[in-house]
Amino acid sequence: MLAGCLFDLDGVLVDTARHHFVAWKRLAEEQLNVSFTHEDNEALKGLSRVESLDYILSKSTTVASAEQKLEWMALKNQWYLNAVQSITPDDLLPGAQALLRSLQDANIPAALGSASKNAPMIIDQLGIGKFLTAIVDGNVVTLSKPHPAVFLKGAELLGIEPPRTVVFEDAQSGVQAAKEGGFYCVGIGRKEDLTGADQVVPDLSFITIEKLNNWLNNN
């Protein structure tokens, strides 16, 4: 039976990707004089802030010091934070609140597993902290996906075993992290973008506890 659930944040519970895109694009074009496309933004899914900056730097001829990188990351993050100040519970993606509430009603623990260091602030603005037993983010673990550290830490905090835990992910690196950690992984998005996921659905409105139990029992 289902022991617990671990949720990625961006693209699973809420869509803040558009704000990341605008902020990274502005940094790339204004500070590094390189283009930044939607395809580039997809490549950053699941990466940490420093890994994202290194990806953008790889597209330029700029050689940056550690101090300069910190300044650019802080600048990008400030632009992003300014943009997400307007996030409210209405920005939750389809099915997110209903699933979290049903898990709580069934006494099945849930946790967040995200690389974002801004996760606590966004969770607070979304009003879903009451549904989460733990928040594991970039402030808790330093190893980014596809390393499974964020999900393993989440399972540890919930006191549950990976094989009976479902991870919800929208990024290929997140799917890899979940499977590497021994979890059952449900991808959110398109099947062709989420290789290795045990199941793929368009959004969380397609998920019920009964369905999760059936999948785990047949795995």
Q: How far apart are CA 182 and CA 5, in angstroms?
A: 13
Cα–Cα dist 55/202, whole Å: 28
Rounded Cα–Cα distance for residues 78 and 170 (Å):
25
Whether 85 and 107 have beta carbons less than 8 Å apart is answered as no
Measured CA distances, 200 to 20, 27, 56, 205, 211 (Å): 24, 33, 29, 12, 13
Catalytic pick from 8, 40, 137, 170? 8
Q: Indicate if 8 belongs to the active site.
A: yes
Mark whether 10 is an active-site residue.
Answer: yes
Half-sphere exposure of 49 (CA within 13 A, CB side): 22
Query: Which residues are designated catalytic?
Result: 8, 10
